[in-house]
Structure 1
């Protein structure tokens, strides 16, 4: 059995594949993850944008 890993998606991506990778990891539609991210960015005074940038740097890309 293959180990489950959080990775950025190459196929389901809009910018860097972070939301697509999170959606695939938790078996959730990536659109829901994107909506949550937008709400976090607008409601959190840009904290969602900072979190996305950090996640794009930290989470490895799918190989």
Structure 2
């Protein structure tokens, strides 16, 4: 099972998940990364969600 959003090949820090989401919705990737870090530090299971997205998203 894959989702239609692709991982970014150019805009990546670890696996390109956040860069792929940012490119798909035409958002700023750095702002999205800051939001993701804040959500990961709160009780939201951000690391688990990131790993699941990494498995579901195809490489661009």
Task: Please classify the TM superposition score into its range, dividing by the shorter chain length.
Answer: 0.7 to 0.9
Which string of whole-angstrom CA distances, capped at 9 and with x for unpartnered residues, describes residues 4-37 of structure 1? x410001000000000000001100111111111
For this pair of structures, how many residues does the alignment match?
57
* Aligned counterpart, 2:27: 28
Q: What is the TM-score normalised by the length of structure 2?
A: 0.88
Q: Unpaired segments of 5 or more residues in structure 2?
A: none
* Aligned counterpart, 2:49: 51
Aligned equivalents of 1:55, 1:18: Cα separation in 2 = 7
Q: What is the TM-score normalised by the length of structure 1?
A: 0.84
Runs of 4+ in 1 over 2 A off after TM superposition: none
Across the aligned residues of Structure 1 and Structure 2, the Cα RMSD in angstroms comes to 1.1
Q: Unpaired segments of 5 or more residues in structure 1?
A: none
Bigger RCO (CA 8 Å, 6+ sep): 2
Q: Which has the higher strand share?
A: 2
